[in-house]
Amino acid sequence: MISNINEACAAGARLDKACGIAGISPRTIQLYCLNDEVKSDGRKAAAAHRTPANKITEVERSEILSVANSSQFENKPPSQIVPELADQGRYIASESSFYRILRAAKQLTHRGRTKAPVHNKPDELLATGPDQLWSWDITYLPSTVKGLFFYLYLIMDIYSRKIVGWEVFAEESAEHAAATFQKAYLRQSVAGKPLILHSDNGSPMKGATMLGTLQRLGVVPSFSRPSVSNDNAYSESLFKTLKYNAGFPEKPFDTLTEARQWVSGFEHWYNEEHHHSAIQFVTPGQRHRREDLLILKK
């Protein structure tokens, strides 16, 4: 190669152009031709092709793909798969290895029904423990009658992300909201503790019955700022998880009882099985019971 480059330069070619065609730099030619003598290559060829000692084998690669595509994990990203395997006492590979192998297999798409949500969280909503700050909202559940919906009233604890109360009704009203909150209040045994309830500015949230119930129980109401759609991002994020998880029915609900039965199952899955990304991939139930401290330490 050096002889060919020297021949080209002798015929009038520029050194950098000749080296560019050869795929090497002019500096390499100059180093190899010091004192008009061609030096030997002192580089170790084996060093350039060293195989890492911890390289994942084909068997391990197949196991990673098999686990990621199993019925248990097919709808979960590696950031949830690895912590859940850790809870089972299993370690197959790191989170980055899962991502790398799924990317190489062209399977690194969002593993749910929609793109990951992006929410701006209001800085004013801060909680240092469970049962200090709750958020609630109402969402539609489709029914088999076109144009008619069931209404899911859902209350969550912002610190732990746990669902602390819910009900499904055929209509939207402040009376239903007050009854749902009072049940959650008694269920969580928070009487006598300082509690803030955050919501948007809908009519059930500001109805006289609802506000009267909060005042009687000593609960401080908090509302989103006017014309700010993301001030109740926690509840909106929970509704996104509810409606786009793999278990949400493809067909509308036929009866109120059917809708309530499904929400009951979702509550158990979300509180006790779902590894939540915002709380370091423990479940909301574990976080609410403060079990996350020992789990994360382990």
pLDDT at 122: 47
State the pLDDT confidence band at 123, using cuts at 50, 70 and 90: very low
Pairwise CA distance, residues 205 & 190, whole Å = 20
- 63-103 pLDDT, tens digit per residue, is 999 999 998 888 888 999 999 999 999 999 999 999 999 99
Chosen CATH of 133-297 out of 1.10.10.10, 3.60.110.10, 3.30.420.10, 3.20.20.10? 3.30.420.10
- Report the percentage of the chain scoring pLDDT > 70: 89
Q: Are 5 and 33 in contact (CB under 8 A)?
A: no
Work out the pLDDT band at 149, boundaries 50, 70, 90.
Answer: very high
Q: Name the least confident of 48-57, 113-122, 143-152, 203-212.
A: 113-122
What DSSP string runs through the chain? -HHHHHHHHHTT--HHHHHHHHTS-HHHHHHHTGGG-PPP--S-GGGGGPPPTTPPPHHHHHHHHHHHTSTTTTTS-HHHHHHHHHHTT---S-HHHHHHHHHHTT--S-SSSSPPP--PPPTT---SSTTSEEEEEEEEEEBSSTT-EEEEEEEEETTT--EEEEEEESS--HHHHHHHHHHHHHHTT-TTS--EEEE-S-HHHH-HHHHHHHHHHTPEEEEPPTT-TTTTHHHHHHHHHHHHSTTS-SSPBSSHHHHHHHHHHHHHHHHHT--BGGGTTB-HHHHHTTTHHHHHH-
Q: Where are the domains of the chain?
A: 2-42, 58-104, 133-297
Res 37: pLDDT: 60
Instruction: Report the percent of the chain where pLDDT is more than 90.
Output: 61
Please give the angle made by the CA atoms of 104, 107 and 109, to the nearest 5 degrees.
Answer: 120
Residue 45 has pLDDT above 80, yes or no: no
Q: Which of 149-158, 223-232, 266-275 has the lowest mean pLDDT?
A: 223-232
At 177 the pLDDT is: 94
Given a contact cutoff of 8 angstroms between Cβ atoms, the answer to whether 220 and 197 are in contact is yes
What confidence category does residue 116 fall into, taking pLDDT thresholds of 50, 70 and 90? Answer: low
Residue 244: closest CA among 113, 84, 139: 113
Q: Which two tokens stand for residue 215?
A: 């005042």
Q: What is the pLDDT of residues 249-296, one digit of tens each?
A: 999 999 999 999 999 999 999 999 999 999 999 999 999 999 999 999
Beta bridge partners of 141: 150
